[in-house]
Amino acid sequence: MIIESRIEKGKPVVGMETTVFVHGLPRKEAIELFRRAKEISREKGFQLAVIGILKGKIVAGMSEEELEAMMREGADKVGTREIPIVVAEGKNAATTVSATIFLSRRIGIEVVVTGGTGGVHPGRVDVSQDLTEMSSSRAILVSSGIKSILDVEATFEMLETLEIPLIGFRTDEFPLFFSRKSGRRVPRVENVEEVLKIYETMKEIELEKTLMVLNPVPEEYEVPHDEIERLLEKIELEVEGKEVTPFLLKKLVEMTNGRTLKANLALLEENVKLAGEIAVKLKRS
């Protein structure tokens, strides 16, 4: 198989993208997060399969050394559609949510974790592949909602149009990455058992969509959305396409004196914990 899977059979597993490490965080914090995520997986009894492409080889279960090599050598940022191109050309590539869900499903991983998903960018015809992949692949995705830099209203409407199921984990509101509240209501669940009951129903009715499990950023790390919006208005966009998100996230870190970075790290850690709990109970069911 074209994918090198290092997953131990019979053990719960969570798939995780590489873009969050390679393009979403400073190198030091990225490696610390990787180590912490692996520590959580050992404590909670599941496997964390970080998925990336190294010199044209798809790897599910990357090591710290491989992740560092990708950061050092550079890596394209790829969604589902670019996978065959970078593989054929023998390139390094960091997977986004869409590519991670697609590759995870090829090797039987049903639970995927991220920080925030892509969506519709403001003022342009720019819709993330994350949404289209979620509209056609059955999986469980644990995230803290969509990234705060997006057109929230347009993205929320697109999620409905694409029939992507949303549930708030112990929240009634759709979270916005750094922010816990958006003013948009979602069905609420209180525990993992409720998540799995919904997912099993999706299987029974053959609904080939990704179930978004929305886990808000911890309250003590929240950066309110109105503050994020005010800051975004001050930023002059100097890039386009896949470079927009990392550019804006980096600018926000600078403008908030690191508060958005702390929020990002905190929500990612909590999402890994929740995804692991879901994977463990899914394996037992």
Q: Which residues belong to the active site?
A: 17, 147
User: Which residues are annotated as part of the binding site?
Assistant: 77, 97, 126, 128-130
Long-range contacts of the stretch 149-152 (C-beta < 8 A, 24+): 149/121, 149/228, 149/232, 149/244, 149/245, 149/248, 149/249, 149/252, 150/118, 150/119, 150/120, 150/121, 150/122, 151/119, 151/120, 151/121, 151/122, 151/123, 152/119, 152/176, 152/182, 152/184, 152/225
DSSP tally for the chain: helices H, then strands E: 11, 11
* Residues in contact with 197: Cβ distance below 8 Å, sequence separation at least 6, in sequence order: none
User: Which residues are annotated as part of the binding site for substrate?
Assistant: 77, 97, 128-130
* Residues in contact with 6: Cβ distance below 8 Å, sequence separation at least 6, in sequence order: 49, 59, 60, 61
User: Which residues are annotated as part of the binding site for Mn(2+)?
Assistant: 126
**Rg of the chain in Å (alpha carbons):** 17
Asked if 32 contacts 21 with a C-beta cutoff of 8 angstroms, the reply is no
